[in-house]
Amino acid sequence: MDTNQLAQTILEKVGGEKNVTSLVHCATRLRFKLKNRDIVDKAQVEAIPGVVTVMESGGQFQVVIGNMVPEVYEAIGAISNLTNDDSTETTTNKDETIFGKFIDLISTIFTPLLGVMAGAGILKGLLSLALNFKLVMPDSSTHIILNAIADSLFYFLPMLLAITAARKFKANIYVAVAIAGALIYPTIIELAASPKAVHFFGIPIVMVKYTSTVIPIILAIYVMSIVEKFLNKRLHQSIKNFITPAILLVTIVPLTLMIFGPFGVYVGNGIASILTAIIAFNPIIAGAVIAASWQILVIFGLHWGIVPVMINNIATMGKDPLKPSTAISVFAQAGASLGVMLKTKNKEFKALSASAALTALFGITEPAVYGVTLRLKRPFLIGILSAAVGGGIAGYAGSAGYASGPSSILMIPAFYGPNGEGFVGFLIAIAVSFTLAAVLTYLIGFEDIPSETTTETNNKDTIQPTTSVQSETIASPVNGVLLPLSDVKDKAFASGILGSGIAVVPSTGEIVSPVDGFVTVAFKTGHAIGLLSDEGAEILIHIGLDTVQLDGQYFDLKVEQNQHVKKGDLLVAFDLDALIAAGFDVTTPIIITNSTNYEDVIPTEKQETQMGDRLITLL
């Protein structure tokens, strides 16, 4: 499927232009804000040739297609009126949490700048290397020009953030840039550096330096957007085009200098100080934890909450101690993909793994994570472990990032500081994490994806997995409507990382045993139960999403751990109406947690199910 066909198909499957509020993109994803999510079949979008996977995070419907994103984005623009700052119409997702809105805010503001940040960061790193090896002199005109090229983005960062923030908050972009320009105006910078007290109509101002800052301008543009909407509703059409900007400039700039600016700077400095203290307490553990958790955060879209912290660290301290660990996690997943490529017998999957490993080295990790390591589960976990080792090494070496941008092999120079401190340690860390992930993946192995040749012939050189489980039929434990596991609004279940299975939206408040077997896990909260069938199947039944926070309210557990049960025995009773009234998603995943022990896990194709019906067949 060519780019134009892919663009048209994706747009059709998300409900057409009329169902899209806004569309932006990052390096690998088209990020849709949809007016009506319910009319979109996620499985159909994922089935489009060229689509790696689909994710939902921060109120965005994210279609992952790899490095073809810019071309597909342009193709969508050619057949629609969707642009970066398209419709002024807004929709409110009442189900979206405050944290989800925060993640959406951060990703929308920072995503358009990541590419140019990466380019400028590479130049800054190369310039530091050139200075260290005396290829250029610090007082030469050549260095002055190159430094201006590399550093201008970071120096004038408030002006660029003003543009993206204004787009996000639906504010006047040109007024926003003018406000940012006032904050970094030369005479304002001189006032900040002066020991003299500064007053505005007799009101004292605590002056701070706003170049390279992040938080103050975002706060300023947010307040500006509120004031602008207020004024535009009340001023006559004939004067609001010039009166509104004048009022905004004369109010927002002083308010920022007096309130938002100092507050934002102090918050930023406080965050930087706290992180510095934590890392200084035990840099090895801190580096290992950050590196190990980063790809998990990326999967759930939670990493966007940390991106502004890293940018703020560079603005306030001149370097960021978190950046090396996040970069190391990328190299670890690339190494795990390489290990898969070396181990797999499937020729098509071998080619996919090789391509994914290469693109991961250049900062595009989605094909490696979603197409290879997470799909096989074990290589993903090996990548996490290897990243932790590398993160610990980088922490011990005192490595840091000196420029922002997506982590890749091209960004390595951005980790070289003014005196090269920690750079060698960082190089060792990425080499160790990459190599360790590749070697462990190859040695430990994984449940390979069978090819036609390996399934049709008896290859004596291929080690067949030994297992004590037998073919088995799993009955339905509950009445309700069936959903593919991929449609569950929880990535831990939907990604398949916990195992294969199916989900049920219950119509009654009882869960019965789907097999003869033992209760292996009986949470006192009643929200989940684990079983081991007499035939060897390990089954997890999770009643609703996030229901653990109810701490047992509305649930009545009827069995105990290690109790033997018969198929049809009542396991849990729950108040279905109360759960729905409390706002919980009652979708109930039924997972075969040892699904890798089976050649195939086949969910029923029925739309509805009753207790005792065939739900899953294990072969």
Q: What is the pLDDT of residues 261-315, one digit of tens each?
A: 788 777 767 766 777 787 888 899 999 999 998 888 776 656 766 777 787 788 7
DSSP 8-state assignment for residue 465: P
> Across the strands, what pairs with 199?
204
Residues 556 and 476 in one domain: yes
Q: How far apart are CA 529 and CA 536, in angstroms?
A: 16
Question: Which residue in this structure is represented by tokens 């966007």?
Answer: 304
Q: Is residue 149 part of a domain?
A: no
Q: Is residue 464 part of a domain?
A: no
Q: How far apart are CA 325 and CA 334, in angstroms?
A: 15
Question: Which residue in this structure is represented by tokens 């339905």?
Answer: 476
* 358 vs 270, more confident: 358
Q: What pLDDT sits at residue 27?
A: 54
Active site residue 26: yes
Residues 263 and 291 in one domain: no
3-state per-residue secondary structure call for 83-118: CCCCCCCCCCCCCCCHHHHHHHHHHHHHHHHHHHHH
> Across the strands, what pairs with 533?
517
Q: Of 563, 572, 472, which is closest to residue 517 (Cα–Cα)?
A: 563
Choose the final residue of a domain: 96, 116, 131: 96
Residues 391 and 422 in one domain: yes
Q: Is residue 541 part of a domain?
A: yes
Residues 275 and 294 in one domain: no
Full domain range(s) for residue 603: 472-618
Q: pLDDT (tens digit, 9 = 90+) per residue, 102-114? A: 666 776 787 677 6
Q: What pLDDT sits at residue 80?
A: 86
User: Would you say residue 396 has pLDDT above 70?
Assistant: yes
169 close to 221: Cβ distance less than 8 angstroms: yes
Q: What is the CATH number of the domain that holds 605?
A: 2.70.70.10
Q: What pLDDT sits at residue 85?
A: 43
Beta-sheet strand order (sheet of 538-542): 564-565, 517-522, 528-533, 538-542, 588-592, 500-506, 480-484, 608-609
Q: Is residue 241 part of a domain?
A: yes
481 close to 507: Cβ distance less than 8 angstroms: yes
User: Would you say residue 477 has pLDDT above 90?
Assistant: yes
- Annotated catalytic residue, options 14, 23, 26, 449: 26
- Percentage of the chain lying above the pLDDT 90 cut: 36
Choose the final residue of a domain: 252, 281, 310: 281
329 close to 294: Cβ distance less than 8 angstroms: yes
Three-state SS at 496: coil
Residues 476 and 608 in one domain: yes
Residues 234 and 376 in one domain: no
Residues 25 and 56 in one domain: yes
Q: How confident is the model at residue 67 (pLDDT cuts 50, 70, 90)?
A: low
Q: pLDDT (tens digit, 9 = 90+) per residue, 7-47? A: 999 999 999 999 998 888 765 678 888 999 889 998 899 88
Residues 6+ apart with CB under 8 A from 223: 252, 255, 260
Q: Is residue 579 part of a domain?
A: yes
Q: Is residue 459 part of a domain?
A: no
Choose the final residue of a domain: 257, 281, 305: 281
User: Would you say residue 425 has pLDDT above 90?
Assistant: yes
Q: What pLDDT sits at residue 103?
A: 62
Residues 379 and 487 in one domain: no
Residues 259 and 320 in one domain: no
Q: Is residue 232 part of a domain?
A: yes
User: Would you say residue 381 has pLDDT above 90?
Assistant: yes
Q: What pLDDT sits at residue 311?
A: 79
Q: How far apart are CA 316 and CA 311, in angstroms?
A: 9
User: Would you say residue 327 has pLDDT above 90?
Assistant: yes
The whole-chain average pLDDT of the chain stands at 83
| Structural domain count, the chain | 4
Q: Is residue 101 part of a domain?
A: no
Q: What pLDDT sits at residue 77?
A: 86
At 211, which helix (H) or strand (E)? none
Residues 498 and 532 in one domain: yes
Residues 275 and 327 in one domain: no
Q: pLDDT (tens digit, 9 = 90+) per residue, 224-268? A: 999 999 998 888 878 888 999 999 999 999 999 999 878 877 776
Position 292: which residue type? Answer: A
Residues 174 and 305 in one domain: no
Least confident stretch, 39-48, 250-259, 367-376, 491-500: 491-500
Least confident stretch, 455-459, 501-505, 606-610: 455-459
Q: How far apart are CA 555 and CA 72, in angstroms?
A: 48
